[in-house]
Amino acid sequence: MIAILDYGSGNLRSAQRAFAHTGLDVQVTSDPRTCIESDGLVVPGVGAFQSCMIGLEVAHGDEIIKERISKSRPVLGICVGMQILFSHGLEPSRSHTQSARGLGYWDAEVSKIEAPVLPHMGWNNVEADPNSEL
């Protein structure tokens, strides 16, 4: 069973549907035992880095992730759920403008992409080209 950690921040249902679509048994949960004993743990995340860290700590998700990583058990972070695995992050919000402490599994800071045009984020329609070899 794959556990999707519910810590108050994340695209939980989208992740759940994606994993269920593959035929995997998946459960959205904040129960520490379920998260620790699952075959895999997914840590989703939507929002500012610091806000996600606060929610993760309140839900004891930081302890769950630490337990799994210490036993070499799979953890998959999606979006900010992946970013919080780094040592620091800077994703300003209205209440947080400084670098925030992450979980520290990788010693690096997640920072804003400095580019004239940021990557597009959101949903689009995709249409298959009947003449394409793909």
- Summarised one tens digit per residue, pLDDT across range 79-113 is 999 999 999 998 665 555 678 899 999 999 888 77
Residue 124 lies in a domain: no
Q: In this predicted structure, what is the pLDDT of residue 50?
A: 87
At residue 127 the predicted structure's pLDDT band, cuts being 50, 70 and 90, is confident
Q: In this predicted structure, what is the pLDDT of residue 82?
A: 94
Structure tokens at 88: 């620091």
Structure tokens at 54: 């606060």
Q: Residue 15 sits in which domain range?
A: 2-110
Residue 65 lies in a domain: yes
Q: Minimal CA–CA distance to 51: which of 113, 93, 109? A: 93
105: helix, coil or strand? coil
Residue 8 lies in a domain: yes
Q: In this predicted structure, what is the pLDDT of residue 115?
A: 74
Residue 134 lies in a domain: no
For the domain that residue 73 is a member of, what is the CATH number?
A: 3.40.50.880
Residue 133 lies in a domain: no
What's the pLDDT tens digit per position in 23-82? 999 999 999 999 999 999 999 988 888 889 999 999 999 999 999 999 999 999 999 999
At residue 128 the predicted structure's pLDDT band, cuts being 50, 70 and 90, is confident
Q: Which residue has the higher pLDDT, 65 or 119?
A: 65
Q: In this predicted structure, what is the pLDDT of residue 76?
A: 96
Residue 115 lies in a domain: no
Residue 127 lies in a domain: no
**pTM of the complete model:** 0.80
Q: How far apart are CA 30 and CA 90, in angstroms?
A: 26
Residue 125 lies in a domain: no
Could you give the number of structural domains in the chain?
1
